[in-house]
Amino acid sequence: MVLFGFVTAVLIGGGLYIVPRVLKRRLYSEATANLGALLFNSAALIGGIGILTGRTQGREYAEYVCSVDWLIVIAFILMGIVTVMTIVRREENLPYTSA
């Protein structure tokens, strides 16, 4: 639970905070990022409950059942799209230099 529920969520949140600050641009779609965060947190909660009730894959560091794994993959894809599109849509203000 610490690995998926806390550490990964903090790294994702940090990335979604730092990318717009560095680029001086708003996120491409805050609603999509919120949906991805909601899916990820829901998957961590459902996966944690699944572990407590004995529903696992039986492999170390891959304990969540397959349906929860798919929620995590979808959440990562959504947040990846938001991050990449924010980077793609940035504007660079290069100083004018005369040759």
Dump pLDDT digits (tens) for 29-40.
999 999 999 999
This prediction's pTM:
0.79
Q: Running DSSP on this structure, what letter comes out for residue 61? A: T
User: Closest by alpha carbon to 36, among 21, 15, 54?
Assistant: 15
The model's pLDDT over 8-31, given as tens digits with 9 standing for 90+, comes to 889 988 999 999 999 888 899 999
- C-beta of residue 41 within 8 angstroms of C-beta of residue 49: no
CB under 8 Å to 76, separation ≥6 — which residues?
36, 40
Residue-level pLDDT at 35 = 95
98 φ/ψ angles, rounded to the nearest 5 degrees: -100, 140
